[in-house]
Amino acid sequence: MDKQTEQKRAAGEYAASLIEDGMVVGLGTGSTVKFFIERLAARINQEGLDIVGVTTSRQTSSLAKGWGIKLKSVDEMPGIDITIDGADEVDVALNGIKGGGAALLFEKIVALNSSRNVWIIDESKYHPKLGTFPLPVEVVPYGSHQLLKRFADADLHPQFRRNADGLRLTTDAGNYIIDLQLTEITHPQALAYYLEQTIGVVEHGLFLQVADAVIIGGDDITIIERQA
């Protein structure tokens, strides 16, 4: 196991220790969350925890079901106690870019219905500013080529995300993703507002003031709480 994978494992397993009996738990998407789900399933089996999971993607649903975790949809539950999710990039204010796994829409819905959001990352994801990771924008297929041109005219350097076969990737909600290659996002709030006002955009991967805490895996676990 390489250093980055070991850090992901450490962060995911630590996050599993935060889960208490009777909780409704949001289950994020991605390689780091995989370690969390595996450790949570072990705790459920060993300690008899009564946990209900709310998933953010078909991929996570399949993984959680395979481990025997009881699942409900976000619309079946009055609320979610805590959501554990990964992030593709996190800045010092605990703002993040998410959506590398193409689950940003469902991840944001689950996050906004959660009392507490905790992100688990390896140290390579923690940066002074956002922008190193391409910013995903989920868009409806109809008119998506026009959106691509509009983003290009705004110097946002857009590209359709594609599958290995070269076809445009389709999200769980049936939409496309346009990735913006930005290098550095100087004004994330302004960019978020611009994207939210653009017709055809379903959701964007800027998660601003969403994470309550970030767990960074390493030789020693680092926990950073968002300042009010």
Specify whether 107 is catalytic.
Answer: yes
Report the alpha-carbon distance of residue 44 to residue 2 in Å, rounded.
28
CA dist 62 to 29, 56, 58, 83, 211, Å? 11, 11, 6, 18, 25
Query: 85 labelled as ligand-binding?
Result: yes
First to last CA, the chain: 37
User: Is 99 annotated for ligand binding?
Assistant: yes
Of these residues, 13, 89, 107, 203, which one is catalytic? 107
Does the annotation list 114 as a binding residue? no
**Residue 32, annotated ligand binder?**
yes
Q: Is 172 annotated as a binding residue?
A: no
Q: What are the angstrom distances between the C-alpha of 117 and each of 6, 95, 168, 173, 210?
A: 22, 12, 31, 23, 7
Per the annotation, does 200 bind a ligand? Answer: no
Residue 174 labeled ligand binder: no
Query: Is 31 annotated to bind ligand?
Result: yes
Residues making up the annotated binding site for substrate are 29-32, 85-88, 98-101, 125
Which active-site residues does the annotation give?
Answer: 107
Binding-site annotation, residues: 29-32, 85-88, 98-101, 125
